[in-house]
Amino acid sequence: MPRDVEPRLLRSFLAVAEELHFTRAAARLYVAQQALSRDVRRLEHALGSPLFARTTRAVELTADGERLLPLARGVLRAHEELAAAFAGDTAARPLLVDLNTDGPGTARTVLDRARELAPDCELMARFESGLTHAAAEIAAGRLDVSFGYADGLDPALRARLAQTPVRYEPLAVVLPAGHALAARESVPLDALAGETVYAGAGNPRTLEWTGLARELFAGRGIEPAPPAPVAIGKDEFRRVMAKTGNPVLATVDFTDLPGCVKRPLTGPVPLSPLAMVWRKGLRHPGLDALRAAAARLAAEHGWLEVPPDSWLPALTVGPGGG
């Protein structure tokens, strides 16, 4: 048994163990698949045991791989905490803040206010298109802060993050302009019975959002749309939407798109619990500004108030939780 194992090899192992797919794991780590496979083989050689059972159709953890998994997470968490504790003047480096999408919304509003509160900090926006992916990037140290339905994350990943509630966001539906429901000012959930509504199915970056949608649709006669090509950018999103004709579940602040209409959902009003998440142990004045901005905006606009006629997913932790 070697006395030292490089953290990079453990990160490679952890990515493959969580994705159970070498191509996806390589994309997550921004490395070539050949380099990732080489790191995994080096780790297996160093430990003297195979960690994955590979076939042409699947990748599975061996018994020793299962045994290593919690140990690898613990070692990498300790490395992250060590780096955070001795990072020196963290204000000198930019804070990388994921807003999910490049457009208006609650996260953008929080970031803009934080920039006003801490003008000397460099708060750099990123657009990772889903909290499931962004949270893994935060845990790996490649991103600092993100926003989304944190209670819908895998518990093992969520345990590595700190979070604070920001807003209970009302949900809406985006409809092609010619849809039968487009003429309404708002759309009751019951009116979507029999409809097939897209909520990110098939996108591995947005598993938390797809899970929330499934819970909302259950028992209401609303079918989740099957996986569709992941559209990057407004034009591609609008094109895919026009091609499928399916309504799309969104928040009330979702970007307006030509040829589509956005209508708030009612009866009850479904709410998405938006939280801000960051890596445990992270210290940065920009993070302090973001937390202060979120708290002030919530107080000013009643973001954490829950109307009596509303719906929340069962996993939701209240404003004092998390």
Q: Is 135 left (phi over 0), alpha (psi -120 to 50) or beta?
A: alpha
Which CA distances in Å does 254 have to 144, 155, 169, 174, 214? 23, 28, 11, 9, 19
Q: Please, which residues bridge with residue 265 across strands? A: 187
- pLDDT score, position 322: 35
Average pLDDT value for residue range 29-38 = 85
Asked if residues 217 and 197 have their Cβ atoms less than 8 Å apart, the reply is yes
> pLDDT-based confidence at 242, cuts 50/70/90?
low
Fold of domain 169-270: D-Maltodextrin-Binding Protein; domain 2 (3.40.190)
Q: Which two tokens stand for residue 238?
A: 């609008």
Assessment of whether the complete model's pTM goes beyond 0.85: no
The 3-state secondary structure of 208-220 reads HHHHHHHHHHCCC
Q: How many CB atoms lie within 10 A of CB 127?
A: 12
- Among the listed residues 141, 177, 175, 176, the one whose alpha carbon sits nearest the alpha carbon of residue 161: 141
**What is the three-class DSSP state of 274?**
strand
Residues spanned by CATH 3.40.190.10 within the chain?
90-168+272-311, 169-270
pLDDT tens digit sequence for 80-113: 767 655 555 444 589 999 998 877 889 999 999 9
Residues spanned by CATH 1.10.10.10 within the chain?
7-85
Q: Which two tokens stand for residue 51?
A: 């960690």
- Domain 90-168+272-311 top-level CATH class: alpha beta
List the Cα angle 305/310/314 in 5-degree steps: 95
Task: Pick one of 3.40.50.620, 3.40.50.1370, 3.30.70.2860, 1.10.10.10 as the CATH number of 7-85.
Answer: 1.10.10.10
Residue of 33 and 321 predicted with greater confidence: 33
Name the range with the highest mean pLDDT among 26-40, 90-104, 294-308: 294-308
> pLDDT-based confidence at 184, cuts 50/70/90?
very high
